[in-house]
A and B are shown apart, each in its own frame.
Chain A
Amino acid sequence: MSTEATIPTGTIEEVEGVTPDALREQMLKGLPSKTLRKRAKQIVPNDPETPPEIGANSRTIPGIITQRGCTYAGCRGVVIGPIHDILHITHGPVGCGYYSWMTRRNLARVPEGQTNYMQYCMTTDMQEDHIVFGGEKRLAEAIREAYRLFKPKAISVYATCPVGLIGDDIHSVCRQAKEELGINVFGFSCEGYKGVSQSAGHHIANNGVFKHMIGLDDTPNDAKYKINILGEYNIGGDAWAIDELLKKCGISILATLSGGVSYDEIINCHQADLNVVMCHRSINYMAEMMETKFGIPWFKVNFIGADSTAKSLRKIAKYFDDKELMDRVEEVIAAELAVLRPIQAEIKAKHQGKKAAIFVGGSRAHHYQDLFGDIGIETVSAGYEFAHRDDYEGRDVLPNIKVDADSRNIEELDVEPDETRFRPRISPEAKQKLIDAGFAFSDYLGMMREMKKRALVIDDISHHELEHLIKTWKPDIIGSGIKDKFIIEKMGVPCKQLHSYDYGGPYASFAGAINFYKEIDRMLSTKVWSYVVPPWVKDRKAAATEAPAEEQKAA
């Protein structure tokens, strides 16, 4: 383990008089034995020093309602969808295309004269005869039609469930179209039934972007500090906020994968000298492959939260080992914090000691703990929706992760150093010097190392478990997504959507952090909650009379 980790001190002995173990028992009680065995591995009291093994990235049990999505959603919706000047075609019946039509709020702001297809949702809208006789002709025609109408630089095709079943060869259709039209056309076999969740789609998307886009344009870029931001999707304008901040420091972003980004930026982004990774889960494949092929090192950053943002900026400056840059970064941090600190202090004074629980995504459940922490709100329970063990326990568990049938289905690209273009961006000596000074390359320490001891970590939380958590630990706020939001709020607990940001944002960087503090302050301070009688008020009386009886029994 790297020395970078700042292991939190203190233990969560109990919340509202209930220990983490007792709450866990409550959640598991009454489950059928097979389900119990599986869930028991996915609900784990934390230990930041030696993160315990957690069951993650395993199939959701049929009939247990999950917040997880599908492979198509991870590929089309998350990773590739935000590239604004690729024309995306969903090959399948109408629903899949419709549901991925601007729903993720991955925003694009396009310079004059450039193209933006984001508001377009093109689908082959397959009908029964295509299912029976095959949809390849329809797809080929749709690609031609798209080209005729828009003349895009690239067209990307996504397969949905029935396409895989009827055996349409989308890749050969794309190859032929590429020859015929003279533009880049490529396909993704991201049928919804593959993999455990959208996570499989991220991997498939990484592979496709790497194979079909990265490295196509070798035009040199002479900017001084050139980096890519990987795993940042510009929800609510986060990528713009980060962009603005780095610009102030004099750091150039060649491409943000994938948010507010163009095709041209992506095909040239292998000119960068560093990849920094925000969402480890969805993009670590790309970081690894770019390092192997081009020699671009990567490390993990987090621009969510004031202290995390400052830490990430300093780390980037340290990597470039340039006094001028380090000074500039310190100036920027000082200026930003001068504005931020008073606002933070005022809001923190109001909410210090409140409790949050966060169940979302593959990185946000970790990152947002820092933002909540900035204003004195402690995260007592957290979990990811679709992450893997390494996102919880850190990348050092990678060799011990059992590869199951679902993961084996996803192609692992065989990547070799590029004969002409591989160029180590930092000398082995300089790299070693940084490592010796506690600098972690190619690593993610995971969520658990930064959570308090005995905090309850819950993977792919179910409604049943969430209900127990709310009733028993009574969190003051929950960070989650739209599918939980209204259940949580029906029970009188404010819920901040951390996928769509409740249509707000940005929350990244210092400016974003201020936004977030203010929004959380509004959510927690509104009078509306005082009118909602939470379900547990009734239960509390019952609990008060029951508890002594149970204690007697135990004695």
Chain B
Amino acid sequence: MIEEFSLTEEPKAPDLSHCTAATRNACKLCTPLGACLVFRGIEGAIPFLHGSQGCSTYIRRYLISHFREPMDIAASNFNEDSAVFGGAKNLHAGLKNVSRQYKPALIGVATTCLSETIGEDMAALLLDCRRAIPDLPPVVHVSTASYRGSHIDGFHDAVTALIDQLVLPPDPHGGVNLLPGMLSTADLRHLRELVEAFGLPVTMLPDYSDTLDGPTWMDYEALPEGGTSVEAIRRMSGARATLEFGDTLRFTRRTAATNLAERFGVVRENLGTPIGLRATEAMIQALERISGRPCPPAITAERGRLLDSMVDAHKVVFGKRAVVYGEADLVIGLTSFLCEIGVEPVLCASGGKSEHFPTALRVAVPELPSTCMVRDNMDFADIDALGKELKPDVLIGNSKGYGMARALDIPLVHAGFPIHDRLGGQRVLHVGYRGAQQFYDQIVNTFLARKQEKSTVGYSYL
């Protein structure tokens, strides 16, 4: 009875060349959201926004609709006075109250558009707070003006800030650091499992696999259990190597991994997000190299099963045309896998500005047809306009593509963030052979279900 969309009435999507002053239906979120997500992945930490309370409310609302879990973000609740004269008093009161109420192990402070625009001197303000609040836990600050970059930049910048501000001089241990990027909770759990299968202790930063995908409570928890401990972060300098996922980061001059490499000589292993055969193999090889151990047979068996299923269902997916959108590195990972299974990506779009995206994608997926459009800084109006011309068979990305899928009458396979029209969006598994297997089954079954729905014959064997 209720229709949230009536897309048949939608104005026709126009030529893009003259659409430059406005973003219509953005394919990106704001920088502090990424930072808050990272801080939620630190054990006992509380994210804290220095700015207006509305940012905290909006970001919580969005993260909660995806994860379906509690997500607290404190704020310094600027008013008109603080906007004019600075937020020192609010920051002080906020940090004091949060320390007292939550007794956090860490407060992750991200500065919003408001405090960034008035140019708060955060180093000085935080030093004052440290002097005045006796039981203040470690505070890490990351600058996240939303007019610089998108949520994925806020995410990476927060990881870098944590490493930059917490890590102590090296005390060598046999572990590895893992910087997974913005992945699902199921991905994070599986990555830990894979690295540990090689006998390597791992510090994964961030790790929100428990804090944002936890069980029901036996007792009230002001801060959810789980996450990377501050202590483990401090010791990241003594690791054997840092595995850093993200093809675009390879072309970025300063990342969290380069920080560890330059300051402490920790070897940086930049890899693509391990989605699909090729990227997972690259990760397995890196783990073999670092650990000096061969790949455990159970993992090899998963690879075998994946290959076997790819043989079973090749005819269902081969030659299908896909539009893939979302964060640059996720899109590269998904595209790589799609090419492996014979799906033809026709448009690969990232919402944020990422000058390295096209290059990184072409390098990671050399067989990607030259006819495939690769674009950064796209909004859904652009994707929609191009998508209509390209006649795709499937969309792959987050919930915001639903309107387009509905208009084009093609299926949407959910991946990435945010997913708020399906259950379990936070635990979609993409990585490793197992993730590829699950994702493959999902894509194949989407096409099979579609075939049944659209056919006038009631096929019961497919």
Contacts and interface: CB of A to CB of B under 8 A. Distances in A.
Interface of A: 32, 35, 59-73, 89, 92-103, 105, 107-110, 112, 114-117, 119-128, 130-131, 138, 141-142, 144-146, 148-150, 160-162, 164-166, 191-194, 197-198, 236-237, 405-406, 409, 463-464, 467, 471, 482-483, 485-487, 489-492, 505, 532-533, 535, 538
B415 interface: no
Given A193-B82, A483-B57, A483-B64, A532 B97 contact: no
Contact of A123 (B22, B55, B58, B75): B22
30 contacts: A35-B97, A61-B77, A63-B48, A63-B76, A69-B53, A70-B58, A93-B146, A97-B23, A101-B26, A115-B11, A120-B25, A122-B23, A123-B22, A123-B23, A124-B21, A125-B22, A130-B147, A145-B21, A161-B51, A161-B112, A165-B83, A193-B52, A193-B79, A197-B53, A405-B79, A463-B222, A483-B57, A483-B71, A490-B214, A535-B217
A148 B112 contact: no
Interface stretch (B2-10, B175-183, B310-318): B2-10
Interface stretch (B27-35, B238-246, B358-366): B27-35
Given A105-B4, A116-B6, A128-B147, A491 B26 contact: no
Nearest to B25: A121
B52 to A, nearest CB: 4
B330 to A, nearest CB: 18
B30 A93 contact: yes
Given A59-B79, A145-B22, A467-B220, A102 B4 contact: yes
B429 interface: no
Contact of B145 (A93, A116, A117): A93
Interface in B111-147: 112-114, 117-118, 145-147
A71 B3 CA distance: 28
B24 A122 contact: yes
Given A63-B93, A193-B114, A95 B61 contact: no
Given A107-B3, A110-B6, A193-B79, A101 B93 contact: no
A119 B83 contact: no
Closest 7 CB pairs of A and B: A70-B54, A95-B30, A63-B97, A62-B94, A141-B21, A93-B146, A63-B94
A406 B21 contact: no
B128 to A, nearest CB: 15
Contacts of B253: none
Given A115-B11, A123-B22, A94 B74 contact: no
B95 interface: yes
Interface in B337-357: none
Q: Which of B10, B21, B28, B54 has the most CB of A within 10 A?
A: B54
Interface string B10-49: 1100100011111111101111110000000000000010
B148 interface: yes
B332 to A, nearest CB: 22
Given A148-B18, A486-B70, A535 B10 contact: no
A486 B69 contact: yes
Interface string B72-88: 11111111111100000
A108 B95 CA distance: 42
Q: Which of B1, B23, B65, B91 has the most CB of A within 10 A?
A: B23
Nearest to B214: A490
A121 B24 contact: yes
Contact of B57 (A69, A128, A194, A463): A69
A73 B54 contact: yes
A68 B83 contact: no
Nearest to A129: B147
Nearest to A464: B101
Contact of A115 (B9, B48, B61, B75): B9
B218 interface: yes
A192 B18 contact: no
Q: Which of B23, B53, B96 has the most CB of A within 10 A?
A: B53
Interface in B157-207: none
B264 interface: no
Interface of B: 1-7, 9-11, 14, 18-26, 28-33, 48, 51-62, 64-65, 68-83, 90-91, 93-98, 100-101, 112-114, 117-118, 145-148, 150, 214, 216-222, 403
B133 to A, nearest CB: 11
Contacts of B60: 483
Given A66-B53, A533-B218, 20 more contacts: A61-B77, A62-B94, A65-B56, A66-B57, A70-B58, A94-B29, A98-B26, A119-B5, A131-B117, A141-B21, A144-B21, A150-B11, A161-B113, A161-B114, A162-B113, A236-B2, A486-B64, A490-B221, A532-B216, A535-B219
B3 A109 contact: yes
Given A161-B114, A487-B70, A535-B219, A63 B11 contact: no
Q: Which of B10, B69, B113 has the most CB of A within 10 A?
A: B113
A525 to B, nearest CB: 19
Contact of A63 (B65, B96, B217): B96
A442 B79 CA distance: 32
Nearest to B100: A32
A146 B22 contact: yes
Q: Which of A70, A100, A124, A144 has the most CB of B within 10 A?
A: A70
A103 B96 CA distance: 33
A538 B218 contact: yes
Nearest to B78: A193
B9 A67 contact: no
A142 B24 CA distance: 10
A63 B52 CA distance: 12
A145 B18 contact: yes
A134 B139 CA distance: 33
Contacts of B150: 94
A192 B52 contact: yes
A549 to B, nearest CB: 22
B126 to A, nearest CB: 15
A59 B5 contact: no
Contacts of B23: 94, 97, 122-125
A95 B33 contact: yes
Contact of A127 (B51, B79, B82, B147): B147
A27 to B, nearest CB: 13
A124 B22 contact: yes
A37 to B, nearest CB: 14
Contacts of A191: 83
B57 A63 contact: no
A133 to B, nearest CB: 12
Contacts of B25: 101, 119-121
Contact of B113 (A67, A92, A97): A92
Q: Which of B14, B52, B73, B82 has the most CB of A within 10 A?
A: B52
A132 B78 CA distance: 21
Contact of B53 (A70, A100, A130): A70
Contacts of A138: 21
A128 B222 CA distance: 37
B147 A164 contact: no
B9 A95 contact: no
Nearest to B89: A62
